[in-house]
Amino acid sequence: MIRHHFTVDVEEYFHPTAMAPHYPADGWDTLERRSPEVIARLLDFLEEREVHGTFFVLGWLAEKEPAMVRAIASRGHEIASHGYEHELVGRLGPEGFRTSVGRSREVLRDVSGAEVVGYRAPSFSIVPGLEWAFDVLLEEGYRYDASLFPIMGHPTYGYPGVGPDPYWIERPAGRLAEFPSTTATVLGRRVPASGGAYFRLLPPMLVHAGLRQAAARGGPGMFYIHPWELDDWVPRVEAPKLQMIRTFHGRRRTWGRMERMLELGRFGRVDQWLVAMEAGTPD
């Protein structure tokens, strides 16, 4: 039975791109951090179900909460990078991106004691035209990327030219494994079915269909969630109502939906599949 990927983008409620305008970075230090409490609960939840996953941790947060990162690693999960300060890749440019992925990898490695080989861009922001990012990742010691979302029509992300299954990206700097986000084909249309807001707001059968279709093709599906989607606490912020709904609505359902999803399939760490891909024997 295929082992899908259970992944978490570990960041605070003030980091998502939609929330960033309301929380300037120079004030982050003064804000309450919610992720340690939520992650502790998630680690227990996963342990009860014997699930291990990959946690893409923001470098900035790892510096503030090293004990949380150590707890994730010590419970058998993979530590990977979500960049340093949640800047979009296109906004960073090649040199800023190099600093972000290099610095976050170093911090995560120092804090966890584990090798860091995986990366996911904030808001899936490796989009067509930014392929230099793959070279930078390889040069900085990464072996896989999980930033591509193979859809079109989303205002800020999407890499429509690729399929939803893991594949090798051949670059001047070498060969990088890519683990795109899962899509489902429903009534002939490709729709996002990978987690996050799609998991909270749309019928759960959509994510189940995406995972089932991935397994039928012989590959793992990708599931992702954020700590702020699993928290009962809502930040007090003056953001447009529609934005607040997209970012925070449906969170009470998320635990139950995750429970059901974990019953329907097997889930694991991305680096396990990577090792099999490198050996030429993904199962």
Cβ of residue 246: shortest distance to Zn ion, in angstroms? Answer: 14
User: Nearer Cβ to Zn ion, position 39 or 209?
Assistant: 39
Q: Does 166 bind Zn ion (CB under 5 A)?
A: no
Q: Which long-range contacts (CB under 8 A, 24 or more apart) does 254-261 make?
A: 254/199, 254/200, 254/225, 254/229, 254/230, 255/45, 255/230, 257/199, 257/200, 257/204, 258/45, 258/225, 259/49, 260/204, 261/204, 261/207, 261/208, 261/211, 261/223
Nearest residue (beta carbon) to Zn ion: 9
Site for Zn ion in 24-53 (CB under 5 A): none
Task: Using only the alpha carbons of the chain, give its radius of gyration.
Answer: 17
| Rounded CA separation 196/175 (Å) | 29
**Among residues 11 and 178, whose Cβ is nearest to Zn ion?**
11
Q: Under a CB-based contact definition with an 8 Å cutoff, are residues 120 and 56 in contact?
A: yes
Segment contacting Zn ion (CB under 5 A): 24-32, 90-98, 114-122, 253-261?
114-122
120/100 Cα distance (integer angstroms) = 12
Q: Is the dihedral of CA 124, 27, 110, 137 positive or negative?
A: positive
Number of residues that bind Zn ion (CB under 5 A): 3
Q: Is 122 in the site for Zn ion (CB under 5 A)?
A: yes
9 is a contact residue toward Zn ion (CB under 5 A): yes
Q: Given the complex with Zn ion, which of 11 and 271 has the nearer CB atom? A: 11
CB of 122 to Zn ion, least distance (A): 5
Q: Does 229 bind Zn ion (CB under 5 A)?
A: no
Q: Segment contacting Zn ion (CB under 5 A): 73-81, 117-125, 162-170, 252-260?
A: 117-125
Q: How far is the CB of 157 from Zn ion (least distance, A)?
A: 11
Shortest Å distance, C-beta 94 to Zn ion: 20
Report, in Å, the least distance between residue 20 CB and Zn ion.
10
| Residue of 20, 37, 8, 24 whose CA lies nearest to 231 | 37
Interface positions with Zn ion (CB under 5 A):
9, 11, 122
